[in-house]
Structures are given as structure tokens and as C-alpha cells.
Chain A
């Protein structure tokens, strides 16, 4: 027999392990979504199918406020992160081999490697001071912080797209009388667009999902969806939480699926 390449699927127990992981990952989510349709108030006691808790959620002012905050925050943070990440990706791929390129990579990707709690504490110490001095307690702090940690997530798909782009295209544009700006607008940007869109969506989901930094930095009375859910969990455990969680899950799944669809397109 011909010696086959090492096949991980043949490792004893590999299949069992994989299945176990998937079960742990998905079964609770299915149970959560199923329970969001429970008529009963108490979790774990099935009383029948209804949209009662969705209706309740949509009339719950605190939830609606948190949802609005989260959507505004995620949109703003993703926008800032995407613009920054696009510029960073252009700088690191277009000017080849400049001094300190490695350092820039490290700085850009730092939020992925630093424990979030550390970043949160560090930001809290500084921003608490700023809050005291300026008296401003709005969403600005969260937008800045979210933008910062979303940059690496926006950067990755943009950079991947840029690396796959033929550099001769920009040379050709210059040859055909395009100024740098015209070439960027008509050639680089349209080719990069799917990567930018994917980066935006990824950053949006990451921001939408954040608990630790939001919880540390939010001003009193301010809530994002995750911090609101966390608070509710501590106070009263009702099926409404399941409905809200399911809605959050739905948004995330839609966006992730969308970003997968746009990046799948070839250059």
C-alpha cells in the first residue's frame, strides 16, 4: 500500500472530540432559542409556544435604549475602525519594507493579544480622570475604546484582500494618466471594497458582543445590550432574556453570514 499523508481524521477519538465540542457549542444555543418561545415566565418550565416575550421585549424601554446604544456604538466604532484599518493596510502593503513595519503590525494587532480585562482596567483609570475633568459622560468613551479594539478585526480581511491584489493594476492606472487619487478611487478602492465591507461587519459584531470593556467604561445609567443582559441576569431571570439573547444571536449570525458572502467573491 502507498503511504498516505497523515490524516487527522484517523486519529482515535478525534471524531468523538469534535462532536463533543459541537454539541457543547450548539445544543445550549438551540435550547436558548427554543425557550425564548416559551409562554411560561420561569426558565425550565415549558408552558406552551408563544411570541409573548418578544412582544414584552419590544415594549421594554430599558431594553430598547440598550439596543439603540449598542447599534449606534457598533456602527460608529466599526466605521472608525474600518477607516483606520484601511489606511493601515494600505500603508503596510504599499510601502514595501519600511523601517518599523513589524512594530506597526504588533501595535495594530495588540488588542487581540492583550487580555481584555487589562485593557479595560487601563482605560478605566485614564477615562475616569478624563470624565472628572471634562464632566462629559456620553457615548464618546465607549466609541473610542471600541474603535481601538475593533481595528485588528477590521484590518485582517482588508489586508488579505489587498495582498491578493495585483500591484500592476495601480501601475497601469498611472500609465493611463490617472492621478494617485483617481487611481485609488477608480481601481484600488473598488477592488478593496469587499474586504472593507467584511472588515466593517466583523468589527460591528465584535463591538456588539463586547461586555468587559463596555461594563468598565460605561457611565452610570448607560447600558449596551450585553451589559443590560448581564444586569438583568443578576436581577430577575425570565424568558424575556432568552428572547433578547435570541435577537442578538440573530443579528450576529446575519452579519457574519453577510461578511462571509462578500469575501467569498473572487477579485
Chain B
């Protein structure tokens, strides 16, 4: 229902111009929980502001329900925003904040009262309807901002790091609540975060951004299992990277005892494996066999991280679940065999740093 085509945004002119977005392309389906994930400064807010209409794009198209809205002013777009700092109107009560959009649209009083009541119930703030917004806690302000943006029934709700100002516990609660709200209302959400865990747990699909470019768009599972490049692999979850080479259908890892048959285009590659897939010891599975020295064990409660050093100095981290076989059985300084199972290996294009 929303198609973004070759969307580009530059700030400034001439030599001092900054390009915040480079030809961004994606489509969002009705009812989707779509997340923009990336480090600070990668262009997430800029993209959201273009969709909301606060900034004109430098190029490209924004098509909502078949209509190009790129030049439409924000007060005409059926899209609402939950701002990072909430931006509640400080001189108004909670109820007045929530009714603002309906008042601006000139809806009848009875409809406004009914909608405001329903919205406040939805975010469980009915009892605070007549408080001034400045007298609320951070979590409550967050809910008011949400109710205010939901009240006019937008086609898309934009949320710019809405949970980043909350403490850890409240944040987890709001994650669950936001997801519930999205599922109950069936509304399309575009959610911005720099927190990969938040993105993985909440989203239907995630667009990973870096330097104003979309790196990959996929479901959380595919993003984690099949990252498109080194940036995505490194940004989401923990990862080991090793330099390797493909030749004649074989994968050569310098530190491995023998090559592994693996069909791939010839040339240098970056080999990636998640720590939980590294096997301590030898295995029957098809795998790359290495020898490593145990440098350090870090205990994390549910699992233990084993920091390994390979013969040529490269490092490798293995994660062992403590519930399985009593956890890691090795000791510091020990030299042990390590296996990298073939089905857990991912080959990424080698990038020049």
C-alpha cells in the first residue's frame, strides 16, 4: 500500500551538501509491522520525516494507495507520527491532546468525545484524561502520544524511536503493548529503532539501514540467518568473521585442516558463523575442522562465551549453552579441536574496509 521508489534526500547545497538518503526503495503491505533499523545518523528519522511530509524529498516517489503523496503537505496526509520526544501540547490536558486531530478535522463533538474515550481506554489512561500532559510520567506521556496519533485513524502510524527514552523494564512492557496494539487495530506501523533486539522481537519485516542506504530488507529470522553483507551480519546479533577463499567448488580457510566442498563463485570471501553454531570438539557433520587455543571463558548465566585464538592469531567466539552437558568443559590455555559445521557457514562478499 506504500511504495517508496528511488527516494533521495540531500541537505544543503554545493560542497556542503549532505545526502541523508540514497535512492531508497521498498514497499509496505497493509497491516505490516515494518521496522527501520540502523545506527544513529543513518537516515531513519529523515526517511520518516519524508513519509510524514515534514521535508520534501530531493528525488523519487512516495506512493500511498496508488497516489503520489511526495508533494502533499503533512496536514493532508493520512499518516500520523509518534515523535521521539513525544511533542505533547503542554498547555492541554491529556484528553485535549488526544482530540486535537479530530478537532482540526472539524469532526462533530459527539464523535470526538466517543473516540477520545475509546483511545484513552485503549492505552489505559482513562483515569488521567483531565491531567495536564506535563504532569505525567515518561511512560504515560508515551501512551498519550500514541493515543493522539491513533485517534484520527491514520493509514500508517510512524514511530520514531518511541521507546528510547524509557527505562529497561518499562521499555519491555511497552514493546509488548505496542505489538498488541498493532495487532488489535490491524494498523500499518513503520517503527524506527537503533536497538536490534527490539527490532527482532517486534517486527514482521526489518529494513537495515547504514549511511543513508538500505542494506537489506527481510524478516527477523532471515535477517539473522541470511544476512546480505558484513554490515547486516555485524549489526544484528553476534558474529564471527574469517577471511577465506573459494576455488573450484571448494572453500579454503587458511586455519582449517582441509578444504570443504562448497559451490561458490571463485575469489576471496568473508566467512561468517554465529557463536552458537561453533562446535567445541570434533563432529561427524560435514564441517571445517580447526585447532584453537582457549583464551578466556565468560559466564553469562544461560550460556558461556568461549574466546578462542586460532593458529594465525585470528579470534573466534563460541557460545555454549550451560544447560547442555553442563556447559563448556574446556579450561583456559587448553588447546582443543573446533568444528565449523557446513550448514551454519555463510559466505559474504569480501568488502574493502
* Residues of A with C-beta under 8 A to B52: 175
In the complex, what's the smallest C-beta–C-beta distance from A180 to chain B, in angstroms?
8
Please tell me if A248 contacts chain B, counting CB pairs below 8 Å: no
- The CA-CA distance from A182 to B102 in the complex, in Å, is 12
A168 to chain B, nearest CB (A): 4
Kindly state whether residue B293 has any CB partner on chain A within 8 Å: no
The residue on B at minimum CB distance from A169 is B87
Cβ of B85 within 8 Å of any chain A Cβ, yes or no, is yes
Is the CB of B104 closer than 8 A to any CB of chain A?
Answer: yes
A175 touches B90 (CB 8 A): no
Given contacts A172-B81, A173-B100, contact A178 B75 (CB under 8 A): yes
Which of these, B85, B87, B90, B152, contacts A177 with CB under 8 Å? Answer: B152
Q: In the complex, are the beta carbons of B85 and A166 less than 8 A apart?
A: yes
Closest partner residue, chain B, to A170 (CB atom): B87
Task: Kindly provide the distance from the CB of B55 to the nearest chain A CB, expressed in whole angstroms.
Answer: 10
Are B87 and A172 touching (Cβ within 8 A)?
yes
Q: How far, in whole Å, are A178 and B101 apart by their CA atoms in the complex?
A: 7
Q: Report whether A191 and B91 are in contact in the complex, using a CB–CB cutoff of 8 Å.
A: yes
Q: Does B155 contact A (CB under 8 A)?
A: no
The answer to whether A190 has its CB under 8 Å from any CB of chain B is yes
Q: Mark A181-204, 1 if CB is under 8 A from B, else 0.
A: 010001100110000000000000
| Cα A191 to Cα B133 with chains together (Å) | 14
* Distance in Å: Cβ of B91 to nearest Cβ of chain A: 5
A190: B residues at CB distance < 8 A: 91
Contact assessment for B85 and A168 in the assembled complex, using a CB-CB cutoff below 8 Å: yes
Q: Tell me if A178 and B100 are in contact (CB < 8 A).
A: yes
Q: Which residues of A contact B231 (CB under 8 A)?
A: none
- The count of A-to-B residue pairs whose CB atoms sit within 8 angstroms is 63
| Interface pair B101/A176, CB less than 8 Å apart | yes
Closest B residue to A189 by CB, please name it: B91
Interface size on A, residues (CB 8 A): 18
Mask of B82-107 contacts with A, CB within 8 angstroms, 1/0: 01010101110000000011011100
Interface contact B87-A166, CB-CB below 8 Å: yes
B80 within 8 A of A: yes
- For the complex, give the distance between the alpha carbons of A178 and B74 in Å: 9
Q: Is A60 an interface residue (CB 8 A)?
A: no
> DSSP class of A's interface residues: helix, strand, loop or mixed?
helix
Q: Is A31 an interface residue (CB 8 A)?
A: no
B11 within 8 A of A: no
Knowing A171-B54, A174-B73, A175-B80, say if A186 contacts B100 (CB, 8 Å).
yes
A177 touches B83 (CB 8 A): no
- Say how far B218's CB is from chain A's closest CB, in angstroms: 29
- For residue B143, CB closer than 8 A to chain A, the reply is no
A93 within 8 A of B: no
Contact residues in B for A175 (Cβ distance below 8 Å): 52-54, 74-75, 79-81, 149
With both chains docked as a complex, state the minimum distance between the C-beta of A46 and any C-beta of chain B, in angstroms. 53
User: Given the complex, which residues of A lie within 8 Å of B91, measured CB to CB?
Assistant: 190-191
Interfacial chain A residues near B148, Cβ < 8 Å = 176
With a CB–CB cut-off of 8 A, which chain A residues contact B149? 175-176
By a CB distance below 8 angstroms, the chain B residues around A173 are: 89, 100, 104
Is there contact, CB below 8 Å, between A191 and B100? no
User: A187 to B89, Cβ gap below 8 A?
Assistant: yes
CA distance in complex: A1, B197 (Å): 51
Does A169 contact B100, Cβ atoms closer than 8 Å? no
A179 contacts chain B at the CB level, 8 A cutoff: yes
- Enumerate the 8 nearest inter-chain pairs by beta-carbon distance, A residue then B residue, closest first: A176-B101, A172-B87, A178-B104, A168-B87, A177-B104, A174-B74, A190-B91, A174-B75
List 19 additional contacts besides A171-B74, A177-B152; criterion CB under 8 Å.
A168-B87, A169-B89, A173-B89, A173-B100, A173-B104, A174-B74, A175-B53, A175-B74, A175-B79, A175-B81, A176-B104, A176-B149, A177-B101, A177-B104, A178-B100, A179-B104, A182-B104, A186-B100, A190-B91
Query: Residues on B close to A: CB < 8 A?
Result: 52-54, 73-76, 79-81, 83, 85, 87, 89-91, 100-101, 103-105, 148-149, 152
Listed in ascending order, the chain A residues whose CB lies under 8 Å from chain B are 166, 168-169, 171-179, 182, 186-187, 190-191, 267
| Sampled A-B contacts (30; CB under 8 Å) | A166-B85, A168-B83, A168-B87, A169-B87, A169-B89, A171-B74, A171-B87, A172-B81, A172-B83, A172-B87, A173-B89, A173-B104, A174-B74, A175-B52, A175-B75, A175-B80, A176-B75, A176-B80, A176-B104, A177-B75, A177-B101, A177-B104, A177-B105, A178-B75, A178-B100, A178-B101, A179-B75, A186-B100, A186-B104, A267-B90
